[in-house]
């Protein structure tokens, strides 16, 4: 599953879409040999939040937001992209690091053919395991991403394993799959505006992990927490390798719905009340009631987060460094929850939690913007990752 054939262009115009569970974002950027992408145009459209989640309706709303973003980028008339990428977050794709083991009594030769057979078998198993997650996907899923993480022969990591003999083989591979119906709807919308046969799908899990890892190479162990509209994804990184992942269905929209129920108001009014409280402009009586509701919701989210960490790994300790991806307006809510003393004392962390937001300020020196392009952390992360991918091929 190669990315693309080698490009001879020095700089290339790239189009990237980021589809999450709260919004769809898109950007045109120049992939540059300097490895610093230059974003020349970007757009963002929220995915409408509704009181109850219906799978088909949710996909339809996401596609509508994608159509608006694609139309804005097309209408900017800034040039035809050379390549198109689409980066997916939960619930639109599922990612996992898979460990393949092979042991024989007599030595065997590690070949490309053997590796491919083992990998294809593992992809098929992974697809079958996750078919249930895509009940509306015409009973079909597609592997969209495959990355070899590590190969060990006879218990030793081997950078050049081809044609070597061994009795024991371990391959760590990262796989992402998505529902065929989801991918087809996305492709149909994009191709209405950009006539591309090949649209390369990626996972936000791998792009955000790679950018976080490369920013602080000395930090080998960390957690990566992506808080979307409907889902919170947690990824554990050990020795610079994406090892484990887990998700729970509470994201930023959980807060909006909880406030709407608590104050008996609409979802739009709930968002307004949250903003007023955050800015210190809520009336005193409303602020007191709202604070009680939000503290209760924070406790519920924190309980699920802690439960997920317990189930995430059999490791004795959990990394203390936590990279968080969340919209700026709710960074304090989730950041303070994770850093709270009450939470820390119940978990086997390496030390007190250190929360690092993968935000515009942290990523500022890694990208260049043309005037007028909106600055969105997810688009910055995607453009950095894709720029590096293209520089390697």
1-40 per-position pLDDT tens digit: 444 444 445 789 999 999 999 999 999 999 987 778 999 9
pLDDT of residue 7: 45
Both 171 and 287 in one domain: the answer is no
pLDDT (0 to 100) of residue 5: 47
Same-domain pairing of 351 and 273: yes
Backbone angles phi, psi at 20, to 5 degrees: -115, -155
Name the DSSP letter for residue 303. H
What is the pLDDT, as a whole number, of residue 9?
A: 53
Q: What percent of the chain has pLDDT over 70?
A: 91
Domain count, the chain: 3
Is there a contact between 203 and 88 (Cβ–Cβ < 8 Å)?
yes
pTM score: 0.88
Are 273 and 345 within one domain? yes
Confidence check: pLDDT of 132 > 60? no
Task: State the CATH number of the domain containing residue 148.
Answer: 3.30.1490.110
Q: pLDDT band at 249, cuts 50/70/90?
A: very high
Cα 392 to the center of its chain, rounded Å? 22
| Closest CA relative to residue 349, chosen from 323, 308, 315 | 315
For 234, other C-beta atoms within 10 Å of its C-beta total 21
- Per-residue pLDDT at 136 exceeds 60: no
Same domain as 152, residue 272: no
Please, which residues have CB within 8 angstroms of residue 299's CB and are 6 or more apart in sequence?
none
pLDDT at 135: 44
Over residues 302-320, mean pLDDT:
81
| CA dist list (Å): 317 to 337, 350, 353 | 20, 6, 12
pLDDT in tens, 35-64: 789 999 999 999 999 999 898 999 999 999
How, if at all, do strands 156-157 and 165-179 pair? unpaired
Structural domain harbouring 70: 12-92+180-214+361-392
- Of residues 114 and 278, which shows the higher confidence score? 114
Lowest-confidence range among 77-86, 116-125, 273-282, 376-385? 273-282
Q: What distance in Å separates the CA atoms of residue 12 and residue 79, rounded to the nearest whole number?
A: 11
List Cα–Cα distances, 31 to 159, 383, 385, in angstroms: 29, 8, 10
334 within 8 A of 326, measured Cβ to Cβ: yes
C-alpha 285/C-alpha 297 separation (Å) is 19
Same domain, 101 and 245: no
């Amino acid at each position: 599953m190669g990315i693309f054939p080698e490009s001879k262009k020095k700089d290339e115009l790239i189009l990237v879409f980021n589809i999450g569970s709260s919004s769809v974002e898109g950007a045109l950027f120049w992939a540059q040999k300097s490895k610093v992408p230059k974003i020349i145009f970007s757009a963002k459209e929220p995915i409408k939040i509704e009181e109850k989640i219906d799978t088909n309706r949710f996909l339809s709303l996401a596609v509508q937001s994608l159509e608006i973003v694609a139309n804005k980028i097309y209408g900017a008339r800034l040039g035809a992209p050379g390549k198109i990428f689409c980066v997916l977050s939960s619930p639109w794709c599922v990612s996992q690091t898979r460990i393949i083991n092979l042991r024989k009594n007599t030595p065997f030769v590690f070949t490309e053919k053997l590796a491919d057979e083992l990998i294809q078998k593992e992809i098929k198993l992974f697809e079958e395991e996750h078919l249930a997650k895509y009940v509306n996907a015409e009973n079909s899923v597609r592997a969209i991403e495959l990355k070899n993480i590590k190969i060990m022969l006879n218990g030793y990591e081997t950078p050049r394993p081809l044609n070597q003999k061994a009795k024991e083989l371990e391959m760590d591979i990262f796989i992402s799959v998505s529902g065929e119906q989801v991918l087809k709807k996305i492709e149909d919308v994009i191709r209405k505006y950009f006539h591309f046969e090949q649209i390369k799908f990626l996972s936000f899990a791998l792009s955000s992990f790679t950018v976080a890892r490369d920013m602080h190479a000395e930090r080998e162990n960390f957690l990566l927490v992506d808080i979307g509209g409907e889902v919170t994804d947690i990824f554990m990184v050990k020795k610079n390798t994406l090892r484990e992942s887990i998700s729970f269905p509470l994201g930023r929209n959980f807060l909006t719905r909880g406030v709407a129920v608590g104050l008996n108001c609409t979802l739009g009014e709930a968002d307004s009340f949250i903003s007023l409280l955050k800015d210190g402009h809520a009336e005193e009586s409303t602020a007191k009631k709202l604070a009680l509701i939000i503290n209760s919701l924070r406790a519920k989210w924190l309980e699920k987060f802690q439960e997920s960490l317990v189930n995430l790994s059999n490791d004795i300790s959990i990394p203390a460094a936590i990279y968080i991806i969340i919209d700026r307006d709710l960074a304090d809510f989730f950041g303070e929850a994770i850093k709270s003393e009450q939470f820390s004392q119940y978990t086997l962390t390496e030390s007190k939690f250190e929360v690092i937001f993968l935000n515009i300020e942290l990523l500022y020196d890694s990208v260049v913007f043309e005037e007028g392009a909106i600055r969105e952390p997810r688009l910055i992360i995607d453009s950095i990752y894709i720029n590096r991918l293209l520089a390697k091929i």
